[in-house]
Structure 1
């Protein structure tokens, strides 16, 4: 009996050859669409997102705030507020009467307050007699007490102190300067340097205070303290870096405050300063 060979392609695969029914798939599509719709943000979430976007825009605007030049009286007010909040010293109006804002050095608006211009700013603040004020004793060294600078530059770190010394290069060629910070410098080394004539010192509050306490650093000729207001890479400044801030105000209270009240010492706040009147930069 002859057998008939059945080709594989002739065999019907019920699953393969079954025509799909469009009805169920349409239903699934409808369901999937409904599911997507259910994941759409609700009205409350839309409002919340809009508020977040508005807040983000406001923050971006705040970052673009800029201030006009700050007057001496505004700088003094800011400085005294910082003093009061740091150590609780309240300067009365009676104490301020003889000095008012004359203790604040008003810097030229023609020059930026960056490192490279520091020397020029100090020269201008001393007027035409800057050489006599800053470099006294250049020819008569014996008449000047050793270790008594006329200018002290105070900053938050050793690295920053070095940068500011470089900015004073136009002065330090004529007026000897000394480094007054602890990094890589021992107290004994600095005591030895301060036995010579010194006109400018640049350093950190803690080491300056220590050298004053051991009477290696004198204040008899001190005419100006330059307070560095520039923030570091992390956004901290002399007034905001916690430990250094406390050290600065301790130094100021014990060594400088009375001299400021007596009108024998001026304060130069060098760098960006907050102003009471801030204007927003308008976007085009």
Structure 2
């Protein structure tokens, strides 16, 4: 009997320890009041990511000056009201956008489900403009490429992996893009923000490095943290 109970007790204490550990991470997040993301958060994240693997000169080229950023969301905004604030001349921009294979506003978030939520919540802002879903779930990349080739879309909302793939395959061109919004503050069921998810973080940084940082430094794209 002694032999039987010991491993059980051990198992129980290990399970409890695991539970405690797991709970602790969420506890910290639950207790810490959400702080809105600011440009410095993204700049620090990029520095940490590139520091070990780039030369000083390369790192300098990957730095984002403050002038590249739009006002950040102070957590009081709905998505529509935030877009209205950062893009007051939307009606004119929308009217003048005539290029295929491109969008004026590119919104990047952590999942297909979250993309759909954001598309719904921008109704008051978007008016009759066309929004394209740019995620992988249930939509083949070929379909998205064809749609971009044939139609005029004003806003693209999706995940960094699919957007990166579209840019690499020349399905999406970023020359007309004026605003890139990162869904920075939103937390999923596990209380993780998009940059807390390793794969999403890596793909977002890859996308930024691939093209966006250069466009921001040249002044053609502005970055917003929602």
Q: Could you say which TM-score interval applies, normalised by the shorter chain?
A: 0.7 to 0.9
Q: Taking structure 2 as the reference length, what is the TM-score of the superposition?
A: 0.76
**Mapping of residues 120-159 of structure 1, within 5 Å:** 120-127=81-88, 129-133=89-93, 135-137=94-96, 144-159=98-113
Candidates 200, 209, 218, aligned match of 1:244 = 200
On the 8 A contact 2:100/2:152 being kept in 1, the answer is yes
1:235 Cα shift?
Answer: 1.8
Could you report, residue by residue, the CA deviation over 1:199-228 in whole angstroms, capped at 9, with x for unpaired residues?
A: 100000010011111111111111111101
Q: CA RMSD in A?
A: 2.7
The count of corresponding residues between Structure 1 and Structure 2 is: 194
Match of 2:69 among 104, 108, 115: 104
Secondary structure of the 1:222 match is coil
**1:34-183 correspondence to structure 2 within 5 Å:** 63-65=31-33, 67=35, 75-88=38-51, 91-92=59-60, 100-107=65-72, 112-113=76-77, 117-127=78-88, 129-133=89-93, 135-137=94-96, 144-183=98-137
For residue 162 of structure 2, what is the aligned residue in structure 1? 207
Q: Summarize the Cα distance change of 1:171–1:192 in structure 2 as closer, same or farther, 3 Å threshold.
A: farther
TM-score in terms of structure 1 length: 0.61
Over 3 Å counting, the alpha-carbon distance change for 1:239 and 1:108 in structure 2 is: closer
Instruction: Give yes or no for contact 1:155–1:228 (8 Å, CA) kept in 2.
Output: yes
Which has the greater radius of gyration? 1
Could you list the runs of 5+ residues in structure 1 that have no partner in the other structure?
Answer: 1-55, 139-143, 271-284
Task: Give ranges in structure 2 of 5+ residues lacking alignment.
Answer: 1-23
Deviations 1:95-133 (A, max 9, x none): 86xx74222111575x723xxx21221122122x22112
Secondary structure of the 1:145 match is coil
Q: Distance in 1 between matches of 2:216 and 2:42?
A: 12
